[in-house]
Structures are given as structure tokens and as C-alpha cells.
Amino acid sequence: MTEIRQITKDEAYNACAPDDFPAMMDVDRYGNRSSAFDKIISATHDHFWDPLDTKYIDFAEPFDTETQMIMPEEMIPEFRLPCFQALSEKDKVRFANETARWSLSAILHGEQGALNLSASLCHILLDPGAQEYAANQTREEARHVTAFAKYVETRFGKPLPVGDTLGALLTDIVNAPEVYKKIVGMQMLVEGLAMGAFATLYTGSNDPLLVKLTQLVMTDEAFHHKFGKIWADRTIPSLSEEEQNIIEDWAAHCFQTLLFNLVNPEQKKVIYPQFGLDWETVQAEMLEAFTDDDRREQMKEGTNIFRVLIKTLLKAGIITDRTKDFYSTYVDMDELKNEGDRMIGDDIAEDGIKYLKTINFSTNEDALSGLSAAE
């Protein structure tokens, strides 16, 4: 049996092996509850929403995918490549929307990963407060799976299969028994990436239904990201050099996987053949067209999803002089360091929560009738 190496600096993250249920029934455990997550758990009622209730979101809202692009043309890098110049206007719209389908399918798989990951935290975290937080996140991720599955179905029919790289990373972190791998991989990186991606979709999409959906999801995700931050605040400052290196290397590994492969044409290969193209040609032209300088330029935009990730890691102390150079190829680290703590998407999430409060607390009649129906 391989030994599990937990790196625990705060009792709230004490963990057992995933199959050790007897450890959960230890009578001393129940009373040993951290209050660190109580605020996040209680706040869940403020931002409650139900993807199947038209009071919150109506998936019947129409959008003509034959004639309109879900994401604007300038946000699709392929359109700058020579091999895309011959596409008819109609095919351009079709390609743009297949790209949107691919991205939203990846988000759907990511949400499923987040659901299973939070559920897996329930199996290993011993602190009842941390466990309640994880159970609560599981419940929220479940509604994201419902919501994105419904969006993909409404606009495209079936989701596309997960790209190899994202699929492998999600499987890795869901199955990992180590708390730090799960929290760094999911709450800090995948969730950070998702916040960036949602902010991009929210600001850029032509589809009002997607704008609404991303905002609702962000009201939840902002809290998941906070859970990662609480872990980092309570863990990173107490690490030994060796432990710090392990966590930094894990973060860099996850970051690199997401950066180099998530936007790599090979990962999207299922969508090219119907346009008479193959991923190798697209890849070759992409390498020619985009240099590191182009990437750096793109990352200056606050919503650039990878910039959000680097900022998350930097603020959490997971990037030090040892690994700084790896990231500084893409962003100006000093500039990032001097920026405030607010994350991209925080404002969008806050507006969303205000909106949800008006729905959730403006009338109690619905809740009362719901109660009597349940009697």
C-alpha cells in the first residue's frame, strides 16, 4: 500500500484514508468542530437558486445558434489563422458555436469534477465543520451540473467528450487522498480558472441566458474559492521548506497542465474535421501565429483566465522566488503583487447575490406554500 502523505498545519484539515469510515464514528470527533467555515455555510441561504425554477433562470429563453455567435468572433483565436479564412460566413457561425459547445462541455465536466471532489472531501475530512462546508459545496456543485447540462442540451444537444488533459487532471484530483492536492488542484486552480472563464463568458457572451447562468454560478463559486484561500492562509505560512516545495511543485504542475493543454487544439480535436480541418494543421498555424509575447499581451486583460490563476497562487504564497520565473514568462509579477486582493468576478458575484436576495427574501408566501405542500 502506498503511504498517504498529508501536509496538515491546521486541525480543521485533519483527514483519514478515504475508506476509513470507522474513524468517522470516533466519539471524540463530533465535538471537535472548527468554526472557520461557519460564515460560508450560513451564507448559502442568501445565494440559493434553483436551475429548474424559472423564477431564477428560464432555459426556454431563445437564441438562434444558426445565425448568431454565442461568443463574439474576436474571442475565437482560430479565426486569425490562415486555414480558417476560407470558411463561409455560415460555417464561421457554426464553428464559433461548436467552440462554445466545447468550452461549455469542458465546464460541465469540471463541475462534475468539483461535485465528486467535494464529496470526496466529506469522506476524508475529520472536522465536522470542514465536512459540513464540503457537503454544502457538493450540493452547490450539483446544481451547477444540472444547470450546465441543461444549457448544453438546450443550445447544442449533447455535450462533447472531455479533452484528455482536463479529464486526466480531474480524475487525479478527485482520486487523490491528499487534502492539499485536492484543495490546490480544485478550489484554487480549477475553481480559479472557472471564475476567470465565467467572467469572460459573462462580459462577452451574446446569449443573455448564458450571461444569467454564469452570474448565478459565480455567486456560489466565489465562496468555493474562499475556502481555498482559508486553507492557504492557515497552511502556507507554517510549511517547512520541503513541504513548501511539494505544494509549489504540485501547483505548478496543475497550472502547466491547464495552461498548455486546455487551450491546445489537440484537446479540441473532435470539432475540426466537420470543417474539413485537422488539429495538426490548426496547431501548427497556432504556434506560428501566437508567440509568448502575444500571450503576455492577452494576460494583461484582467479577465484572462490564466492571469487569475497566477494571481490566486501568488496571493496565497504558493509562488516564491523558486518558481517565480516559470510564471513570469506570462505576467508581470510585480504588477500583480501590487494589485488589491479582490478577485475578478467578485463584483459580478456580489451583484448576483443582491439579486438573489431580492428573490429569496422578498416574499415568504412561496416558501410557506412549499411548506404546507410538504406536510
Residues of the shown chain interacting with Fe ion in the complex, contacts defined by CB under 5 A? 111, 114, 141, 144, 191, 221, 224
Tell me the closest approach of the beta carbon of residue 192 to Fe ion, in angstroms.
Answer: 10
Closer CB to Fe ion, 178 or 221, in the complex? 221
Closer CB to Fe ion, 65 or 136, in the complex? 136
**What are φ and ψ of residue 15, in 5° steps?**
-140, 160
DSSP secondary structure code for residue 185 in this structure: I
Closer CB to Fe ion, 51 or 177, in the complex? 51
Retrieve residue 290's grid coordinates.
Answer: 501566437
Q: How far is Cα of residue 285 from the mean position of the Cα atoms in its chain? A: 29
List CB contacts of 36: < 8 A, sequence separation 6 or more.
12, 129, 130, 230, 234
CA 307, CA 224: separation in Å to the nearest integer? Answer: 19
Closer CB to Fe ion, 177 or 228, in the complex? 228
Closer CB to Fe ion, 96 or 222, in the complex? 222
Upper half-sphere CA count for residue 47 (Cβ side, 13 Å): 28
Tell me the closest approach of the beta carbon of residue 56 to Fe ion, in angstroms.
Answer: 16
CA 232, CA 318: separation in Å to the nearest integer? Answer: 8
- In the three-class reduction of DSSP (H, G, I as helix; E, B as strand; rest coil), residue 365 is classed as helix
Tell me the closest approach of the beta carbon of residue 175 to Fe ion, in angstroms.
Answer: 18
Upper half-sphere CA count for residue 88 (Cβ side, 13 Å): 7
Closer CB to Fe ion, 65 or 131, in the complex? 131
| C-alpha distances out from residue 216 to 9, 170, 198, 220, 234, Å | 34, 23, 10, 7, 29
Helix axes 321-328, 305-315, angle to 10 degrees: 170
Tell me the closest approach of the beta carbon of residue 143 to Fe ion, in angstroms.
Answer: 8
Tell me the closest approach of the beta carbon of residue 195 to Fe ion, in angstroms.
Answer: 9
Q: Which amino acid is at 349?
A: A
Tell me the closest approach of the beta carbon of residue 105 to Fe ion, in angstroms.
Answer: 15
Closer CB to Fe ion, 69 or 134, in the complex? 134
Tell me the closest approach of the beta carbon of residue 300 to Fe ion, in angstroms.
Answer: 26
Q: Using CA of residue 180, residue 186, residue 191, residue 196, what is the dihedral sign?
A: positive
Tell me the closest approach of the beta carbon of residue 72 to Fe ion, in angstroms.
Answer: 24
Q: Would you list the DSSP string of 121-174?
A: HHHHB--HHHHHHHHHHHHHHHHHHHHHHHHHHHHHSSPPPPPHHHHHHHHHHH
Closer CB to Fe ion, 106 or 336, in the complex? 106
Which residue in 196, 233, 199 sits closest to 215, CA to CA?
199
Residue 338, exposed/middle/buried by CB under 10 A (0-12, 13-18, 19+)?
Answer: exposed
Tell me the closest approach of the beta carbon of residue 216 to Fe ion, in angstroms.
Answer: 11
Tell me the closest approach of the beta carbon of residue 329 to Fe ion, in angstroms.
Answer: 28
Beta bridge partners of 15: 125
Retrieve residue 83's grid coordinates.
Answer: 486555414
Closer CB to Fe ion, 221 or 248, in the complex? 221
Closer CB to Fe ion, 78 or 140, in the complex? 140
Q: Identify whether the C-beta of residue 156 lies closer than 8 Å to the C-beta of residue 65.
A: yes
Residue 135, exposed/middle/buried by CB under 10 A (0-12, 13-18, 19+)?
Answer: middle
